[in-house]
């Protein structure tokens, strides 16, 4: 506890400003509704509230600091960092928030860097030019999450539904729906949505536990990269490629590191996935295999049983982005501290069920209930049927059936996960595994030590790294193109 | 919070008893806010006794007096809060 003597008037003023923030106000006024909805207990509500308050207060401190000068740059930020004893990551995170709330405008000064291999160029962030906007009186304006749904850039990850304190959001067919009668307009969903704004620089920094602004090229930050496949025969028979994701979860259940895992399995409709809470290693077998239809996994985050034990989450890049964002903004949803592993899956694009997957099936004239496996490989979408037939469509012909929001996703390789797993770059029957964090490395080492997987150096396999980088880059370029288009036409777009 | 910014060292809110408010449930709503601010003060390291709500009916003169005495004595024992020297309003 601070001593009262060290308080300053500026501090009190700051507290007053923070109390005026709509997010804080909504949480105070909505307390009764929140507790009644039963998602958060009183203690959890207070944990959420005070962490949020602290961050919001720091945000206003930063704003006050920036207001002193007409223009600030990275050097000024460093002064703020030393006086307040916070780290650069947090400040960058807050800047992204301030920018989104249109309280400041930020111009990034980039340096073009040429890397040696295959003319890949990328921008390196070296400085900022920050101006405080004078048009807005320093108050944030509430913007409903509905704008994201309406602009069709919602990724359907389900984060908003999973954290909503009054449980008023539902994800139907991959797009959210808000129950206006229940909504308390706290704006938490907007705050945590990966498609509103995403502080990518500080996300990389969290991943690497570093405090420097670095650029991480096409694949995001990673420690190591391997090609691997499972040795468990049960998984081998049901898995998509190398079975690494299933093996990870299988091992974690076996070694009692997790009590549950969040993933997807097929629902009663053939090939329509649904969020699924895995409770044992037997569930792993039933949920193995890739589903190309998107799925709001994270909407199960409010499940009560998650509070009592550790769990792992399996998801595509948008799930991982949402999770890391919530961690960065110190957002204490009840089970936040119980997430111990985040397993990301590579994703180029996903399909919605009615408008995507069923149409593909129509294209090749297959009854959906007859499909035994789907796969994307060598530029083609393959459908295998129960009677042993194989059908394929070139990806180019079905890209227009993909979800529109996938156009604005920059992330192929789940850059925000602990371990990313996919098939691109590895030979058939193998997985490409990207180890991104120390936690991920620990898990991978354990898998090898327990003889669950076989692993080879990624440099020794064909097509290997260059292929993966090329595809990751093509997704980034495509995303940038769509973002520019949306900017030009004045449509809503996510700010990365 | 505004009072604190303008230089108050403490705030006493004196209201009617529960159910006797002229303005519906305004006294109890305020009570919720007071409880909340006290919790927040605790979190921030400010003494929670600086804000207090007392329930006195208009006729309870003695209770009013003891309430005021109570908070003044509490606040006298605390150090003064920082004041805005540049721009005192």
Number of domains in chain B: 1
B24 touches chain A (CB under 8 A): no
Which pLDDT value is given to residue B89? 40
Q: Which residue of A has its CA nearest to B7?
A: A9
Q: Which residue of B has its CA nearest to A4?
A: B46
A3 touches chain B (CB under 8 A): yes
CA max distance for chain A:
79
A68 touches chain B (CB under 8 A): no
pLDDT mean over A356-376: 83
Contacts 24+ apart (CB under 8 A), A30-37: A30/A165, A30/A166, A30/A184, A30/A186, A31/B32, A31/B36, A33/A165, A33/A166, A33/A182, A33/A184, A34/A165, A34/A166, A34/A184, A37/A165, A37/A166, A37/A167, A37/A182
Residue A138 binned pLDDT confidence (cut-offs 50, 70, 90): low
| Residue B32 CB-density burial (10 A; 0-12 exposed, 13-18 middle, 19+ buried) | middle
What does the pLDDT look like over A174-201, one tens digit per residue? 788 888 888 888 888 888 888 888 888 8
Say if the Cβ atoms of A5 and B36 lie within 8 Å: no
Say if the Cβ atoms of A4 and B84 lie within 8 Å: no
Distance from C-alpha of A188 to C-alpha of A26, rounded to nearest angstrom:
10
pLDDT at A383 over 70: yes
Chain B: closest CA distance from residue A50 (Å): 8
Contact A242, A431 (CB under 8 A): yes
Which pLDDT value is given to residue A443? 92
For all residues of chain A together, what is the average pLDDT?
Answer: 83
Residue A434 binned pLDDT confidence (cut-offs 50, 70, 90): very high
Residues of A whose CB is below 8 A from B79: 4-5
Tokens of A107: 């111009």
Which pLDDT value is given to residue A79? 84
Say if the Cβ atoms of A9 and B5 lie within 8 Å: yes
The answer to whether position B47 is within a domain reads yes
Contact A229, A242 (CB under 8 A): yes
Residues of chain A with pLDDT > 70: what percent?
92
What does the pLDDT look like over B13-72, one tens digit per residue? 888 877 777 777 777 888 888 888 888 888 888 888 888 888 887 777 888 888 888 888
The answer to whether position B89 is within a domain reads no
pLDDT at A346 over 80: yes
Token pair 């705050």 is found at A191
pLDDT mean over A244-249: 90
Element (H, E) at A201: helix A200-208
What does the pLDDT look like over A139-169, one tens digit per residue? 667 778 888 888 888 888 888 888 888 888 8
pLDDT at A325 over 70: yes
Rounded alpha-carbon distances, angstroms, from residue A400 to A330, A394, A396, B70: 37, 12, 8, 73
Residues of A whose CB is below 8 A from B40: 15, 19, 50, 53
Q: Which residue, among A327, A112, A115, has the nearest Cα to A205 in the 3D structure?
A: A327
Distance from C-alpha of A110 to C-alpha of A359, rounded to nearest angstrom:
43
The total of other beta-carbon atoms located within 10 Å of residue A36's CB is 10
Look at phi and psi of residue A397 and say left if phi exceeds 0, alpha if psi is from -120 to 50, else beta: alpha
Contact A184, A26 (CB under 8 A): yes
What does the pLDDT look like over A195-205, one tens digit per residue? 888 888 888 88
Contact A294, A319 (CB under 8 A): no
> In this complex, which of A9, A28, A50 lies closest to B43 when CB atoms are compared?
A50
Distance from C-alpha of A86 to C-alpha of A82, rounded to nearest angstrom:
7
The answer to whether position B82 is within a domain reads no
Distance from C-alpha of A132 to C-alpha of A120, rounded to nearest angstrom:
35
Determine the structural domain holding residue B39 and report its residue range: 2-76
Interface test with A, best of B2, B30, B46 (most A CBs within 10 A): B46
The answer to whether position B87 is within a domain reads no
What does the pLDDT look like over A51-68, one tens digit per residue? 888 888 888 888 888 888
What does the pLDDT look like over A435-464, one tens digit per residue? 999 999 999 999 999 988 989 888 888 788
What does the pLDDT look like over A271-283, one tens digit per residue? 888 888 888 888 8
The answer to whether position B7 is within a domain reads yes
What does the pLDDT look like over A92-134, one tens digit per residue? 888 888 887 777 777 777 665 554 444 444 555 666 677 776 6
A181 touches chain B (CB under 8 A): no
Which pLDDT value is given to residue A113? 55
Residue A5 binned pLDDT confidence (cut-offs 50, 70, 90): low
pLDDT mean over A236-256: 87
> In this complex, which of A4, A19, A53 lies closest to B45 when CB atoms are compared?
A4
């Amino acid at each position: 506890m601070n001593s009262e003597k060290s308080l300053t008037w500026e501090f009190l003023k700051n507290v007053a400003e923070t109390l005026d923030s709509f997010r804080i106000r909504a949480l105070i006024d909505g307390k009764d509704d929140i507790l009644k909805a039963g998602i958060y207990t009183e203690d959890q509500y207070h944990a959420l509230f005070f962490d949020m308050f602290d961050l919001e207060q720091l945000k206003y401190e930063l704003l006050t600091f920036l207001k002193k000068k007409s223009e600030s740059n990275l050097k000024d930020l460093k002064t703020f960092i030393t006086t307040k004893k916070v780290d650069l990551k947090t400040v960058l995170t807050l800047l992204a928030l301030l920018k989104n709330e249109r309280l400041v405008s930020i111009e990034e000064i980039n340096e073009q860097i040429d890397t040696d291999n295959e003319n890949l160029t990328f921008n390196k962030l070296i400085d900022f030019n920050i101006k405080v906007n004078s048009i807005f009186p320093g108050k944030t304006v509430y913007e409903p999450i509905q704008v994201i749904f309406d602009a069709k850039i919602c990724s359907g990850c389900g984060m908003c539904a999973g954290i909503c304190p009054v449980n008023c959001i539902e994800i139907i067919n991959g797009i959210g729906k808000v129950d206006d009668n229940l909504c308390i307009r706290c704006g938490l969903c907007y705050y945590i949505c990966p498609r509103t704004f995403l502080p990518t620089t500080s996300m990389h920094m969290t991943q690497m536990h570093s405090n420097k602004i670095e650029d991480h090229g096409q694949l995001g930050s990673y420690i190591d990269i391997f090609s691997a496949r499972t040795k468990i025969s049960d998984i081998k028979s049901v898995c998509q490629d190398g079975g690494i994701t299933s093996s990870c979860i299988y091992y974690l259940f076996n070694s009692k590191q997790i009590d549950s895992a969040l993933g997807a399995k097929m629902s009663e409709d053939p090939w329509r996935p649904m969020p699924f809470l895995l409770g044992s290693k037997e569930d792993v077998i039933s949920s193995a295999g890739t589903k190309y239809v998107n799925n709001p996994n994270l909407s199960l985050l409010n499940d009560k049983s998650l509070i009592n034990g550790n769990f792992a989450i399996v998801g595509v890049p948008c799930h991982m982005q949402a999770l890391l964002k919530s961690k960065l903004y110190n957002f204490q949803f009840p089970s936040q501290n119980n997430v111990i592993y985040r397993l990301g899956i590579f994703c180029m694009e996903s399909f919605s069920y009615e408008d995507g997957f069923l149409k593909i099936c129509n294209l090749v004239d297959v009854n959906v209930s007859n499909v035994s496996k789907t796969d994307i490989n060598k530029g083609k979408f393959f459908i295998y049927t129960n009677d042993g037939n194989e059908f394929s469509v070139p990806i180019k012909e079905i890209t227009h059936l993909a979800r529109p929001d996938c156009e604005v996703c920059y992330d192929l390789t789940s850059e925000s996960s602990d371990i990313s797993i996919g098939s691109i770059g590895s030979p058939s029957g193998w997985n490409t595994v990207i180890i991104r964090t120390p936690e991920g490395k620990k898990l991978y080492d354990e898998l090898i030590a327990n003889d669950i997987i076989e692993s080879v150096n990624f440099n020794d396999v064909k097509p290997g790294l260059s292929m993966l980088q090329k595809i990751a880059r093509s997704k980034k370029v495509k995303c940038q193109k769509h973002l520019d288009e949306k900017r030009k036409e004045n449509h809503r777009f996510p700010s990365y | 919070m505004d009072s604190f910014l303008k230089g108050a060292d403490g705030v006493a809110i004196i209201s009617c008893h529960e159910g006797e408010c002229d303005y519906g449930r305004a006294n109890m709503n305020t009570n919720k806010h007071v409880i909340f601010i006290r919790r927040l003060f605790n979190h921030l390291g400010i003494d929670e006794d600086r804000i207090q709500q007392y329930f006195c009916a208009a006729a309870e003169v003695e209770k009013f007096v003891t309430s005021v005495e109570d908070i003044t004595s509490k606040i006298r024992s605390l150090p003064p809060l920082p004041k805005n020297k540049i721009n005192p309003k």
